[in-house]
Amino acid sequence: MTPTIIVHGGAKTITDDKVAANNAGCTAAVEAGWAVLISGGTAAEAVEAAIRVLEADQTFNASLGATLNSDGEVELDAAIMEGSLSWGAVAAVQGIRHPISIARQIMDDKPRLLVARGAERFAADNGAEMCKKEDLIAEEQLEQWKEDQKVIDRPNTVGCVALDASGILAAGTSTGGTTKQQQGRVGDTALVGCGLYADNKIGGCSTTGDGESIIPVVLAKTAIDFLSGDRHPDEAAQMAIDALASKVKGEAGCILIDRQGRVGWAYNSSHMACAYMTVGQDKVAAFTQK
């Protein structure tokens, strides 16, 4: 199989002053995941490594840099899924620096979704990088929350899809949700079939956008289904976004890798920050719109 990895930093409006930061962050995430793949690591390990980079970058709405909820706090959701249909997820957690890593630990234990205090207890018991919940509040997001500013350049999710040399696919997602969301809200990110999906026989997908629009159309699974008949991931991704737009209102985007290692993406927002790498490229391809 051809090792391949693609990440997104979110379907959103990217202002001119944030283009470089979005490209740099997505590039760094791909480089981290690619280093895992070319050293013989698994797709799940690559997805975790890539998303950890995005979670630590204040450019993106995941962990440090996440939007603040109605109470002015950071609440995080994350999930990961392997193409063998193994999965793990957390939602509405606080004080966890890398929720994607906890989602992976859950996946390796047994498939389930853990939320709030129960997820935090699991994280602490399993050696997670814990912190005070206030430590994840970035100054820019705090000022916007206090001043009730319209938030620009805050995607709803970051994500990654990877294919390893053994032909195993994995997809992952991580988010801080939506600005001033009700405390306890859970969007699409932690929901298999909505925010992410992976099937070794077909492909892998990670989505981004308005969770309340993505959930009812089961966007990630819809995109995977459109890969049938050897359809190119670019076409499948666009068909999935078109299907969403025909049924509900809202912005969304998705990234795909099929079992051959071909990549594709589509979105109906102004921009979507992405980057990818596969065998034969001499450097990461990064872009803020196609």
Which residues are the active-site residues? 157
d(CA 170, CA 43): 5
The 3 state secondary structure assigned to the chain is CCCEEEEEEEEECCCHHHHHHHHHHHHHHHHHHHHHHHCCCCHHHHHHHHHHHHHCCCCCCCCCCCCCCCCCCCCEEEEEEECCCCEEEEEEECCECCHHHHHHHHHHHCCCEEEHHHHHHHHHHCCCCECCHHHHCCHHHHHHHHCCCCCCCCCCCEEEEEECCCCCEEEEEEECCCCCCCCCCCCCCCCECCCEEEECCCEEEEEEECHHHHHHHCHHHHHHHCCHHHCCHHHHHHHHHHHHHHHCCCCEEEEEEECCCCEEEEECCCEEEEEEEECCCCCCEEECCC
Which residues, other chains included, contact 143 with Cβ-Cβ below 8 Å and sequence gap of 6+? Answer: 149
78 - beta bridge partners?
A: 90, 174
d(CA 62, CA 178): 11
